Amino acid sequence: MEKEIASSAKIRFSDCDPIGHLNNVKYIEYMLNAREDHVESFYGFTYEEYSRKTGCTWITIQNEIAYLKEVRYNAKVVITSKTIEVSDRISKIEILMKSEDEKTINAVLWINVIYFNMKTRASEIQPEDVKELFKKYLVSLDQKDFKTRSEFLRRQNKSVIQTK
């Protein structure tokens, strides 16, 4: 069973800074848009649909991002996402932006989300069926903290460059 979802995107000129590099904020936008699409295609629901049906949603409580390699306008990238942690209230997602050939990691984003009831305005324990759905696609990483993970991916990029 595939546990990492992927999609492609083309970097737009209007999303870049004056020297043609993707603006830092836009990395996050591209990555979050891809994750939203991944949730719909992989888990079978949209956040809007889930919120309307249950009155609950997931709210981002922390983002950690490392920019590993520049992305220039007109580039085609592959964006992957996967669930790397699931607990009663909090889940953690990793999103990678990669080169079109997927050999180079341009950026890594870890998102911590909390399950939130919009009516009570408080976090809740995620329903068992939701936790089980996410756990079915859970990916265990060797690197358990963000700093170690981003350093690992940076070294991986360097080894790709050296083998070219």
Report how many domains make up the chain: 1
- pLDDT (tens, 9 = 90+) of the chain, 164 residues, equals 678 999 999 999 999 999 999 999 999 999 999 999 999 988 888 999 999 999 999 999 999 999 999 999 999 999 999 999 999 999 999 999 999 999 999 999 999 999 999 999 999 999 999 999 889 889 999 999 999 999 999 999 998 766 65
Which amino acid type is present at position 53?
K
Angle at 145 between CA 159 and CA 69, to 5 degrees: 40
Instruction: Supply the range of the domain harboring residue 148.
Output: 5-163
Residue with token string 């080894």: 159
Domain at 30, CATH number = 3.10.129.10
Distance of CA 32 to the CA centre of its chain: 6
